[in-house]
Amino acid sequence: MFESVWLLFALPALGALIILFAGQWMSQKVVGWVASAAVLAAFVVSVMLFFSLTALPSAERSITITWWQWMTIGDFKVPAAVLIDPLSVTMAMVVTGVGALIHIYSIGYMDHEPRYQRFFFYLNFFILAMLTLVMSNNFLGMFVGWEGVGLASFLLIGFWFDKRDDMYGWYADCGKKAFIVNRIGDFGMILAMIMVWSTLGTLVFTELGETVHHLAPATAAIICLLLLLGAAGKSAQIPLYVWLPDAMAGPTPVSALIHAATMVTAGVYMIIRTNLLWHVGVPAGEVAAWIGMLTALLAATIAMGQTDLKKILAYSTVSQLGYMVAAAGMAAYGAALFHLVTHAFFKALLFLAAGSVMHATDGILDINRLGGLRAKMPTTYRTFLVGAAALAGIPLLSGFFSKDAILVAALDHNILLYIVGAVTALLTAVYSFRAVFLTFHGQPRDPHIFEHVHESPRIMTTPLWILAFLSLVGGVINLPFILSLEHWLEPVVGEHEKILLVTELLGITLSIVIAVFGFLLARALYLRHESWAERLAAPIAFLRPMIEHKWYVDELYRATIVNPLKAVSGWFARVFDPKVIDGAVNGVGAVVNDAGEAVRKLQNGAIPTYALSIFLGVVAVLFYFLFIG
């Protein structure tokens, strides 16, 4: 089966090519089903790889398939090869499994879109790029996929490039913002790869173990900090998280696929994949843990003040990614991957359910204008409720188990990290159920919207039910008696550090208390308007304007980075370019022209002038040989 891994790439590539060259002669639904079938078939291949891998002893679960030697420049050698191990196979199943459901959902959601063919071509291209990222056995191959998903993200965020509104401005600008911010992180990735090659002499992941012990801790820390910059760009961490909320300008399936389930987890995957470097550069891990936890807290506070349903989910995604990066920084790789997988289930569910609301309300997602939708959209309501409960960490749902694993790791690692993570968990529970109560409960706040609300078609609700089921039972994948992800990842990251049972029990108890209290507080604030909850929230009411304006981070960046850069570039455009660059070019042309004009006067057609020229030339040559040469 391992030799057939090429099908994993060939299937989405084939789907994209069929849509590109033959899509114009197909009906819209056929285009959608061709794209969906390609990704679904790739998911089947990834599941077969999973079972083939589980049949092997744990020590042998790392297989490299080399197709050809990609680059050979002296000692610099990079193969075109894939690495089949527990980490890559898990990521492949998430990418293709959740991706297939989102493809199917998109058939209904994008039904009236005139650029239907282009949309599904972009989706298939994204899946291909993401698989390249997670399956490559070396930094350079991973970087090709890394840039591929960046390009796909740019194309899909700005898919409605000719559209604008008051919230996002021109949608094309949102795509450019994502592209440019990610280039900052990519700069860190490139420098990290250069340092890895120059210090270790290889870019192949499986060869790092042979040389990494020669690496100085300070050098390893610098490499890891550069990798962290790359992860901050892709996985939307401080200070590069600002692109992801604006990425909600793209179609809702794009938000679910790229900005909840797959692309934004690339940074987390990269940290887990390069764990050998992080074990040597320990201080960089501490920085990553704090960056992650502070990102989680910052984004959770912003989510509390948003009124657009997709914006709430966007900042929630930033927050949950912060948890994952923090876990990876603490070397709790199993917990990081566990939350990555469960988050893919419930956040994709929440985005698709939000898309269902958007589909039913003709694009309205302002929770202050909604309310009472559960009466007309029972399927969307129930599935959204499951996703919100999983996000909030309600006991026995998938999010409870995965988030608890990270909080327990933080409790064991650093009590201050745990406190930040626990406060974030409380805020998460509150804003999750705030979205549920204000959208689906109570009385309709805009009767005109409510009159036209309808449940989405089955092709959209079926993926919701599947994702809701996975969000309910997804926690079992990390139970020791079923499939412990820590044990499953051991061939990649080594044996995980054991945590004391008392710490585990304390963490679980506190997680239950936090989740339940968050639910009760949200119900009291947004559904029942109880006085005790309002008194509890009153002391921090003064923060509301800052939270609603996202702590003015975008304004700060605009004032300190964007506007100065625009001013400098404007000066270059007005002054430096026309006077210096154009002046130099025009000056060279003028000198050549004047010289030509002077030489032209010597060509006057008079024989005495030519004879004099020959005579002077002979004199000059004789002078050179007699007195100089």
* 42-86 residue pLDDT tens: 999 999 999 999 888 888 888 889 898 888 888 888 899 999 999
* 443 shares its domain with 572: no
The secondary element (H helix, E strand) that includes residue 433 is: helix 415-440
**Over the stretch 410-464, which tens digit does the pLDDT of each residue have?**
999 889 999 999 999 999 999 999 999 999 998 888 888 888 888 888 888 899 9
Q: What is the pLDDT of residues 81-100, one digit of tens each?
A: 999 999 999 999 999 999 99
Residue 371's pLDDT is: 85
Q: By C-alpha distance, which of 288, 307, 270, 318 is closest to 492?
A: 270
Write out pLDDT tens, residues 207-248.
888 888 888 999 999 999 999 999 999 998 999 999 888 888
Burial 77-89, CB ≥16 within 10 A → b, else e: ebbbbbbbbbbbb
CA distance linking residue 553 with residue 51, whole number of Å:
46
The answer to whether the beta carbons of residues 366 and 313 sit under 8 Å apart is no
Do 147 and 286 lie in a common domain? Answer: yes
> What residue has token string 């089921």?
469
pLDDT, tens digit, for every residue of 127-154? 999 999 999 999 999 999 999 999 999 9
Share of the chain above pLDDT 70, in %: 99
Does one domain contain both 433 and 560? no
| Size (the chain), residues | 629
State whether 489 and 570 are in the same domain. Answer: no
Q: What confidence score (pLDDT) does residue 482 get? A: 61
- The answer on 579 and 522 residing in a single domain is no
How far is residue 276 from each of residues 285, 323, 333, 433, measured CA to CA in Å? 12, 21, 12, 40
* Whether residue 590 has pLDDT greater than 80: yes
CB 277 within 8 A of CB 223: yes
User: Which stretches does DSSP call E strand in 134-278?
Assistant: 164-165, 169-170
Q: Tokens in use for 258?
A: 């790229």
Distance CA 101, CA 104 (A): 5
- Cα separation, 250 vs 227, in Å, equals 28
Q: Are 370 and 438 in contact (CB under 8 A)?
A: yes
Helix/strand/coil for 150: helix
Determine contact, residues 323/367, Cβ cutoff 8 Å. Answer: no
Last residue of a domain, one of 523, 548, 573: 548
* DSSP of 383-397: HHHHHHHHHHT-TTS
On whether the CB atoms of residues 85 and 61 are closer than 8 A, the answer is yes
- Closest Cα partner for 11 from 107, 131, 103? 131
pLDDT of residue 480: 66
What amino acid is encoded at 542 in this protein?
F
Answer yes or no: are the C-beta atoms of 80 and 64 closer than 8 Å: no
Contact residues for 541 (Cβ-Cβ < 8 A; gap 6+): none
Task: State yes or no: pLDDT of 478 exceeds 80.
Answer: no
CA distance 440 to 431: 14
Q: Examine the pLDDT at 249 and tell me if it is beyond 90.
A: no
For residue 530, give its domain range.
2-548
> Based on the domain organization, do 134 and 15 belong to the same domain?
yes
Q: Which residues does residue 64 pair with via DSSP β-bridges, in sequence order? A: 83
Same domain, 567 and 624: yes
Q: Are residues 463 and 560 in the same domain?
A: no
pLDDT digits (tens, 9 = 90+) for 307-358: 899 999 999 999 999 999 999 999 889 899 999 999 999 999 999 999 999 8
Banded pLDDT at 512 (limits 50, 70, 90): very high
Mapping DSSP onto H, E and C, the string for 324-379 reads HHHHHHCCCHHHHHHHHHHHHHHHHHHHHHHHHHHHHCCCCCECCCCCCHHHCCHH
Region of 371 please: left (phi>0), alpha (psi -120 to 50) or beta. Answer: left
The kind and range of the H/E element at 25 are none
As a whole number, mean pLDDT of residues 562-586 equals: 89
DSSP state of 446: -
Over 80: is that where the pLDDT of 604 sits?
A: no
Among 525, 548, 571, which residue terminates a domain?
548
The model's pTM is 0.89
Shared domain for 390 and 315, answered yes or no, is yes
The answer, yes or no, to whether the previous bond of 239 is cis (omega within 30 of 0) is yes
Q: What 3-state DSSP class applies to 301?
A: helix
C-beta of residue 265 within 8 angstroms of C-beta of residue 348: no
Pick the last residue of a domain from 499, 522, 548. 548
Enter the DSSP assignment of 523: H
Give residue 481's pLDDT.
Answer: 62
Nearest C-alpha neighbor of 238 from the set 293, 190, 195, 282: 293
Q: What is the mean pLDDT of residues 290-305?
A: 94
Q: Are residues 290 and 368 in the same domain?
A: yes
Return the pLDDT at 161.
85
C-alpha 548/C-alpha 555 separation (Å) is: 13
Q: What is the mean pLDDT of residues 540-556?
A: 85
Q: DSSP states of 245-290 as a string?
A: HHGGGS-HHHHHIIIIISGGGHHHHHHHHTHHHHHH-HHHHHHHHH
Q: Are residues 495 and 578 in the same domain?
A: no
What is the dihedral angle through the alpha carbons of 344, 346, 349, 351, rounded to the nearest 10 degrees? Answer: -80
596/468 same-domain check: no
Written as one letter, the residue type at 527 is L
Domain tally for the chain? Answer: 2
What φ, ψ does residue 48 adopt, rounded to 5°? -65, -40
Q: What is residue 204's three-state secondary structure?
A: strand
Of residues 381, 523, 401, 378, the one with CA closest to residue 472 = 401
